[in-house]
Amino acid sequence: MSNSITPTKFDMSNLTMVNMSNLTMDELKKICKERNIHGCSGKTKNKLIEMIKQSYITTTLNINSVHCPNDIISGKLITKDKRHEIFGQVAGGSNSRSPEDYQRSKISEGTGIECKKTSMRINLRNNKLENISHPNTQDNGFDYSEDFDGFQYFNNNHVYYNFKCIVGSGGSQTRSLREVYNFINGQLNVLKSEKNVYFANILDGDESYNAMKHFNYLISLTEYESVKNKLYVGDLKGYFDWFKNNFNSL
């Protein structure tokens, strides 16, 4: 897997902290926009400079190494009992682990690109991505989606991940899946105006599989025809083929 990640460093001799500190906030925000850097709202000048510098360090994808790890099973086979077998007591315990952590680690393993945690979320009022950790401290907190569970950056592309493992039928599961549906609807609206952004919704669990018809309906709507190929909805096992098909030409 180590051969999959090739850091590429650009000439940053004219991007020193001193040089950029002479720029105005508007000039820094313009650079962020040109470099497709998200989450600039509310950031200090030094934070914007740090984000710009970080954007000059990227990772090159080795598409030939992308694979589905052997121990991943089909999402529809993950029942309540199977989830307990794989993850232990999801609610806690010394032998437990989060399905989200497992999914994130397998994305890193299978793509060869680290899948990092992020505070990025969608402002559903204006369909913009914003890096904000605690939106509910603000009056408009309910305008925001949940945060994304993972993030990858390679070849100037941003991929944001939503990880879920929903098993068994019931009112709680239905409410969770409806929230996922609204989250995906927000993602599709963001894609209408964002370049080099992709969303991946990894939905494992037998109940996620049973609800897939609802997500397929949403993605098939005419208004999303031009952006639907930049969004994945399905189980972890099927994701790696989608990944290779979408990023093979990059």
Averaged pLDDT for residues 203-214: 97
Q: 28-82 pLDDT, tens per residue?
A: 888 887 666 777 878 888 888 877 776 665 577 889 999 999 999 999 999 999 9
Phi, psi of 70, deg, nearest 5: -65, -25
Q: Rounded distance, CA 187 to CA 128, Å?
A: 9
Dihedral, CA atoms, 177, 182, 183, 184, nearest 10 degrees? 90
Q: What is the pLDDT of residue 36?
A: 64
CA distances, 38 to each of 48, 63, 129, 178, 228 (Å): 10, 25, 6, 27, 21
Q: Write out the two tokens for 41.
A: 């709202």
Q: 100-141 pLDDT, tens per residue?
A: 999 999 999 999 998 988 889 999 999 999 988 899 999 999
Q: Which residues contact 189 (CB under 8 A, 6 or more apart)?
A: 127
What residues pair up with 247 in beta bridges, in sequence order? none
Averaged pLDDT for residues 12-21: 59
